[in-house]
Amino acid sequence: MSEYLEEEEQLVRLKRWWDENGTALVIGVVALVGSIIGWNWFANYSETERHESTRVYEAYEAATAEEKVGQLSILRQEFKGNAVHLFALLDQAKNAVAEGDAAKAQTLLAEAINEGDDEIVVDLARIRLAKLERELGLADEALLTLDAVRNEGYRGLVLEAKGDIHSSRGEIELAHQSYKVAVESLRDGETRPFLNMKLENTAPFGDEFVTMTDTLTEALRAAEDTLEAAEASEAEQAEPQLVSETEDTTPNE
């Protein structure tokens, strides 16, 4: 259940985006509909709230595993549905998967999906939930979860996840088709070696689609897990702080 590398990279990007654009985006929307007095009040409130939510999230990240439970409760109570609340839920779900507690991970991911205000992060939670459901043998539920993802930026991840589900059910032609479109959806310069391997390994022999052997499947999974562990560690070390308390976040006029 360790297929988190691509999503971890997405999560790092989302946190960086939140740092750089979160306040400016909200203020920009309000500016379109509010009076100048209302805009100034909301701008100050939004920036203050953002700094406070970031402060609490930084405390969450610095906490021990036991302390994070309490920090998550604070985020849940004071910033319900906020991006930092969702980031913490995704982190806790990842830890639950690592500990073999699938039920807890499902509950946390469901909370992120049902309570989240940010559809970009919510869709990321849907992808993670679908992968967990696949591992639990809930293929039909996993496909329905993936069908709910709407953000086009996740198209490749969704198609690859669907390919994995079809492959696990022996639907090799459907798996190959999903992998093929996933490869075609990659951005210029983007490389996904394991996705390419999946595409090649599900390709037909002549006109017949043949199920991969268990040995090949396990070898591919082991290699993928090893690479994920190394690269996820690098991504975590490179992850920037959400925001500095001394940073000037005033949007450009």
Helix (H, G, I), strand (E, B) or coil at 204: coil
Contact, 241 vs 58, CB < 8 A?
yes
Backbone angles phi, psi at 205, to 5 degrees: -95, 105
pLDDT at 28 over 50: no
**DSSP reduced 3-state for 208:** strand
Q: What is the pLDDT of residues 45-59, one digit of tens each?
A: 466 677 788 888 889
Q: Rounded distance, CA 86 to CA 124, Å?
A: 10
Tell me how crowded residue 184 is: count the other CB atoms within 10 A of its CB.
Answer: 11
pLDDT, tens only, 153-171: 899 999 999 999 999 999 9
Alpha helices, H only, the chain: 5-33, 36-62, 65-78, 83-98, 102-115, 119-135, 139-147, 155-168, 172-184, 193-201, 214-238
Query: What is the token pair recorded at 81?
Result: 């549905």
Structure confidence at residue 192 (pLDDT)? 84
Predicted pLDDT of residue 45 = 45
Q: What is the pLDDT of residue 14?
A: 60
Residue % of the chain over a pLDDT of 70: 62
If you average pLDDT over every residue of the chain, what do you get? 76
The model's pTM: 0.68
Q: Which domains does the chain have, with CATH numbers?
A: 5-238 (1.25.40.10)
Q: What is the mean pLDDT of residues 201-221?
A: 65
